[in-house]
A and B are shown apart, each in its own frame.
Chain A
């Protein structure tokens, strides 16, 4: 398998994280900063369709505000339609960024440095998309501050026993911490952009957000401490946020929802979908911005391995749900799962299983893990599958609830579809603006994991592996 051999670091013997001989610190800065300073026309190819989709989103929301939630396909048993499906989908996407930024940081996984910036940005934008859906699903988004414990003349107080309220706090905490983490990590690179800026506006804008960073030892000391603390704060959030999202379902008593496997199953699914979305975004990004030597094949391969692991966990959870439905001897529970397989929404279930259980298994094959084309195609399938997972959970459980007389078939309207498609416009527009104006790779951190950053490195003249 010599063709898959990655270059090794001459000191540590581990895989080199930045490819290419004699890549200097300055080369890394140039590689990341150039595409921002001298934008490529290709950026517009991504940005214009994104903004058009954003327009679709804004029209959908404007019409929704004018007409009310009646324009969606919600009906009486299925009061949680696509809005909640999309909410869970988008929140799940976000989890990869937090996992990369927090857990991999605490475990000293140095390969995270080249992908963490973009993944964290993705997290923030995904959470922004996610928050749209419950906000508008309330039907009266102007009262969205009601879940907050504020003094008011109505003497209304949030119901702290409701998982929906826990969700408000879980997701808003998650957003705040993710944003802070992302921003703190950006400060040294913003200072780099400020110092390279040629125009006064750029110098002012980057300088404002760089908070006077000069790169002194004291600055770095404070920075690293802050980063460590935020990583510590974010780590439980990786597990807690989707756990609480799963409580929205699991704490209720509906067959198909009321299961204890939901929290770990949701977290695994969230990381699974999040890494797929990271791949979907990074594969074009590294090609168009010529960052292949920084976001290397080995980074992609590592992500594919995480997708394989979490995808298999999700597959296990699917199997276990059926086992428990049978083993519990509860007729309602077994009916709910039979209904998933062979009921009205059998097609959604089988799309979900094909995409989520079969797709990741391709990543056992190394050639596929290291092929950008395969990675891109399979990541799209995972994204589709994870959306359908949320659809299956939400809709198939609700449409046949306890009372057969209220059973109904739910189908989305054109406005459900346009809101979902439009939310991708919101997501991609934000991501395009991010790659246009901010360094997509953590320049300072990547430099610290290069071979030449090691004090024992003496320059090797291209003779890797012979230095001891």
Chain B
């Protein structure tokens, strides 16, 4: 009887046995790395309708974050300011700039500026800025050096694992509550020198939830 399969097919089982586990491990590793928000989300930098520079406003001019995002200490969401906030200055400064046309139109008509949201959590994750600020987690811990960004981009993955890392061990990311908007605060040096447990201004211990319903309510 003639052979049905050529001789080299004898090597297939061996090849599968040897390469199979590597292929499987490779697949898991591929998904783990390339499907993770660390790869897909960090560096997300959409072009905004108005070329607003955080570097200029928050960095060079040193405006406080809360001048525009004024609800951050009192509400779950840090508000995106209405055009009226911009016009506080821009009714006097750069009044003719074509780049600010959308802001002026918005202030006149009440039409919102179609900003593109950069930091977006999924609906099933409950997030509130208030307890984070009250605990002394600085803006830059999650949003990065906004004061150095001409166009805002995502500095951190905002993934569940990333959240949990801090919820399990918040100490390294805590700072005095009067320093939360300080972009220059360096966790490596300033953070090392600061011990939240011994801060007399703190009213209570930081005890972030690690159970499922802490964030998935």
Query: Which residues of A are in contact with B by a Cβ distance under 8 Å?
Result: 150-156, 194-195, 203-204, 207-208, 211-212
Contact = CB atoms under 8 A, between A and B. Distances in A.
A151 B164 contact: no
Contacts of B162: 153
Contacts of A152: 32, 36, 161
A204 B157 CA distance: 51
Nearest to B35: A153
A156 B4 contact: no
23 contacts: A150-B28, A151-B28, A151-B32, A152-B36, A153-B32, A153-B35, A153-B37, A153-B38, A153-B157, A153-B162, A154-B159, A154-B164, A155-B164, A155-B165, A156-B160, A194-B4, A203-B4, A207-B4, A207-B5, A208-B5, A211-B13, A212-B5, A212-B10
Contact of A153 (B1, B13, B160): B160
A204 B5 CA distance: 8
Contacts of A155: 160-161, 164-165
A207 B32 CA distance: 38
- Give the size category of B's interface with A: 10 to 19
Nearest to B162: A153
B4 A153 contact: no
B35 to A, nearest CB: 8
A208 B5 CA distance: 8
A211 B4 CA distance: 11
* Secondary structure of the B contact surface, majority rule: helix
Contacts of A154: 159-161, 164
Nearest to A152: B32
Nearest to A203: B4
Contacts, number: 36
A209 B164 CA distance: 48
A152 B33 CA distance: 9
Contact of B32 (A150, A203, A211): A150
B157 to A, nearest CB: 7
10 closest residue pairs by CB, A with B: A155-B161, A154-B160, A153-B36, A153-B159, A207-B4, A153-B161, A151-B32, A155-B164, A154-B161, A203-B4
Interface in B156-191: 157, 159-162, 164-165
A195 B1 contact: yes
A466 B86 CA distance: 112
Nearest to A207: B4
A156 B13 CA distance: 35
Contacts of A207: 4-5
Contacts of B159: 153-154
Nearest to B161: A155
A285 B72 CA distance: 73
A195 B157 CA distance: 59
A155 B163 CA distance: 10
A295 B87 CA distance: 92
Nearest to B4: A207
A204 B28 contact: no
Contacts of B165: 155
A194 B5 CA distance: 12
A195 B160 CA distance: 57
A212 B7 CA distance: 10
B50 to A, nearest CB: 33
A30 to B, nearest CB: 20
A333 B197 CA distance: 50
Contacts of A212: 5, 10
B165 to A, nearest CB: 8
B114 to A, nearest CB: 30
Contacts of A150: 28, 32
A280 B104 CA distance: 81
A151 B36 CA distance: 11
Contacts of A194: 4
Contacts of A203: 4
B49 to A, nearest CB: 31
A211 B9 CA distance: 10
Nearest to A194: B4
Nearest to A155: B161
